[in-house]
Amino acid sequence: MADKDIIITIENLCFEYAGDGDPIPALTEVSLEIERGSFTSVIGRNGSGKSTLAKNINALLLPTAGRVVVGGYDTSLEEFVWDIRQMAGMVFQNPDNQLVSAVVEDDVAFGPENLGLPREEIKKRIRDALESVDMYDQRKMAPHLLSGGQKQRIAIAGVAAMKPDIVIFDEPTAMLDPEGRGEVIDIAKKLNAEGITVLLITHFMDETIDGDRIVIVDGGRVRMDGPPREIFRRAEEIRRLGLRLPFPVELARGLGARGLTVPADTDILDSEKLAAAILRAAAGQGEPRSRGEERGDGEHAGGTKGDGSFVPEGAGQMNRPLLSCVVAEHLTHTFNKGLAYETNAVADVSFEIAEGEFVCIIGHTGSGKSTLVQHLNGLLKPTSGKITVGGVDVTAKNASVIEMRKKIGMVFQYPEYQLFDETVYKDIAFGPKNLGLTDEEADVRVKEAMALVDVDFSEYAQRSPFELSGGQKRKVAIAGVVAMRPEVLILDEPTAGLDPRSHEDVLEMVRSIREKTGCTIILVSHNMEDVARLADRVFVMSEGRIVKTGSPADIYADEGFLTGIGLGLPPARTFANRLSERGLALPLNILTMDMLADSIVNCAGTVS
């Protein structure tokens, strides 16, 4: 057997970050070898050490102990840093942190120009790189006018133009809609097929299925390492590490827990083979169960009405009158008005949201979701139209900012960036004190908000918010908004970039806030399953307009419509459609994995 061609060697790597006191260990005794031309996925919870590992490979960080060798170059030797950076390109989570120029083609040219290449070679590389990510037609545009997915493709093109041997993707899809995520992963696979070594850092397990290898990191150590099909057989270990299994693995396990076993030799990572195995198992199961029978150990969020329509968890629990809380009338916002790149980010939008309602806003990246919600608390003023909240016109020129903040709380993408004070207590108390509350009144608000987001007051109040985990930081940032006791709480992608366990913690926190306060919630999300589990009503945005509204079941009934505007269905609904097309008589309202597993078992014996 020929010797392996190893391009990355990591030997007993340790790395510590400097702290106010003792150093903070991030990696401990990590040893890996990465083969040239391979596709390796690195997975782990927030704070597990994944990104630190990537930055040590790229020589953005240098080992505290041990060593990293990339293409024969030791990263700790300063004379090799330039060679390593040429060899190992890095694509970061937020493309805005990587784009440097005012024109797309200039941004892609930045790397080749720094290599001192001839002008004709630079032009060729720009064209090749932009064509490889299907962005050549946008080469003259300003990056800030592009959607998040387009920006990420430009960032990838900038790395590809350097012609690296290795491309490291550090959670490149965390901020993207389903279509954008798929596009980025397809580009990563394309680069790998061309012989480039790919390292993909991700929280999305389904992105790792087609790779060669998965490395799971926890607590700064490698806990699991192997091919995807071997790794995902160790389901309980993965769950103990706070990670989520890929959808087909979860489904197979859920069916087994309900008494419908998929044969052990089935390749459950292959959707076609899994569907065929489920149909065979269901056909041999005999009479279908009644819907009232016990579902096993899995319960889906929400339930069904007598007519079979889906009821999201928490919907209707407050028994509130349907009073209009938020009303938008012909809202329009135009960027760069009168210029060549004039854009209607929000175009003649009108809607009403009832008091206590939970509304989710979905749409492809760049559809206008964030621009729309930033009007609700006065961060943006409309070009035309108006918004009233509780009968108060918040878009009026003389609108009181303090009164506005009392009514509407806004939690941005990556809300931990809103943290600034020296202790958790002071950070949460900042808003209430700015409302003019006394210290005693603010103290009540802080304790109340920390309880609502499930952050223990005695343990965390006097700690620095910057010492907390990613999930804890997000909860504290949300507590700072909740402490203002807003009538309307707006959350813009509150789970973006979180690992599966932290993701679920934040969703549970949002449910708790709704149930205990009765406030109106507006959630912007790309996660189709979260929307299915939470929303009373869904607004679908495309090109600055609300193009459809309805319950999650109504919205997800039209797969062609959603895919046509760059969105998708929840995985459970997509798989249910696949089974229905093959003869399993499943209901039309399936939105979550647990609903799907229940329905498959209930319909066993009905395969036509």
Above pLDDT 90, what percent of the chain?
49
Ramachandran quadrant class, 150 (left: phi over 0; alpha: psi -120 to 50; beta: rest): alpha
Model confidence pLDDT, tens digit, residues 322-332: 456 899 999 99
What CA–CA distance (Å, rounded) separates 436 from 454? 26
CA torsion, ordered 272, 278, 279, 282, to nearest 10 deg: 180
The model's pLDDT over 484-530, given as tens digits with 9 standing for 90+, comes to 999 999 999 888 888 888 889 889 999 999 999 999 999 999 888 89
Strand partners, 169: 91, 200
Kindly state the helix (H) or strand (E) to which residue 271 belongs, with its residue range: helix 271-283
Q: Are residues 501 and 593 in the same domain?
A: no
pLDDT score of 288: 41
Min mean pLDDT across 85-99, 204-218, 533-547 is at 85-99
Q: How far is it, in rounded angstroms, from Cα 15 to Cα 473?
A: 23
H-helix or E-strand containing 458?
A: helix 457-460
In-domain check, residue 556: no
| pLDDT value at 204 more than 90 | no
Of 207, 225, 240, the residue that ends a domain is 240
Length of the chain: 608
How many angstroms separate the CA atoms of 241 and 264, rounded?
A: 24
C-alpha to C-alpha distances, 224 to 26, 53, 229, 253, nearest whole angstrom: 17, 15, 13, 20
Q: Are residues 233 and 259 in the same domain?
A: no
End-to-end CA distance of the chain: 50
- What per-residue confidence (pLDDT) applies to 313? 43
- In this structure, the answer to whether residues 48 and 109 fall within a common structural domain is yes
pLDDT of amino acid 606:
57
- 77: in domain: yes
Six-digit token pair at 416?
Answer: 């931990």
Quick: pLDDT tens for 373-415.
988 888 888 999 999 888 888 888 887 777 777 788 998 877 7
Place of tokens 């103990």: 240
DSSP per-residue letters across 317-374: TT-----EEEEEEEEEEEESTTSTT-EEEEEEEEEEEETT-EEEEEE-TTSSHHHHHT
Domain-terminating residue out of 240, 273, 303: 240
Q: Cα separation of 246 and 132, whole Å?
A: 28
Number of domains in the chain: 3
pLDDT at residue 605, rounded to an integer: 61
**281-326 pLDDT tens trace:** 888 754 444 333 333 333 334 443 333 333 344 443 333 334 568 9
CB atoms within 10 A of CB 487: 18
More confident residue, 416 or 326: 326
CA distance 523 to 490: 6
**Would you tell me how many other CB atoms lie within 10 Å of the CB of residue 264?**
9
- The residue that leads in pLDDT, 447 or 560, is 447
With cut-offs at 50, 70 and 90, classify the pLDDT of residue 178. Answer: confident
pLDDT of residue 307: 36
Q: Are residue 39 and residue 87 in the same domain, yes or no?
A: yes
In a domain, 558, yes or no: no
Q: Please give the helix or strand (H or E) that residue 492 lies within, else none.
A: strand 488-492
Q: Do 331 and 298 share a structural domain?
A: no
Please tell me whether residues 21 and 86 are part of one structural domain. Answer: yes
Pair 200, 75 in one domain: yes
Q: Is residue 565 part of a domain?
A: no
Give the amino acid at 552.
P
Query: Is residue 562 included in any domain, yes or no?
Result: no
- Is residue 26 predicted with pLDDT exceeding 90? yes
Q: Determine the angle formed by the axes of helices 119-132 and 178-193, rounding to 10 degrees.
A: 130
Q: Is the pLDDT of residue 545 over 90?
A: yes
Using CA atoms, how far apart are residues 112 and 114, in angstroms rounded to an integer? 5
pLDDT at residue 270, rounded to an integer: 85
- 358 belongs to a structural domain: yes
How far is residue 596's CA from residue 294's CA, in Å, rounded to a whole number? 15
Range of the domain at 152: 6-240
Token pair of 38 as six digits: 């391979």
Does 1 fall in a domain?
no
pLDDT, tens digit (0-9, with 9 covering 90-100), for 53-77: 999 999 999 999 999 999 999 999 9
The pLDDT value recorded for residue 149 is: 76
Taking each continuous run of H as one helix and of E as one strand, the counts in the chain are: 22, 22
Q: Provide the edge-to-edge strand list for the sheet that holds 39-43.
A: 88-91, 166-170, 197-201, 39-43, 213-218, 221-226
- Does the CA dihedral 227-230-235-240 come out positive or negative? negative
Residue 227 has a pLDDT of 95
Q: Which of 223, 240, 257 is the last residue of a domain?
A: 240
Cβ atoms within 10 Å of 182's Cβ, excluding its own: 16
pLDDT digits (tens, 9 = 90+) for 456-477: 999 999 998 888 877 788 889 9
* pLDDT (0 to 100) of residue 146: 81
What does the alpha-carbon distance between residue 579 and residue 600 come to, in Å, rounded to a whole number? 9
Residue-wise pLDDT for 127-140, tens only, equals 999 998 888 988 99
Q: What 3-state DSSP class applies to 378? A: coil
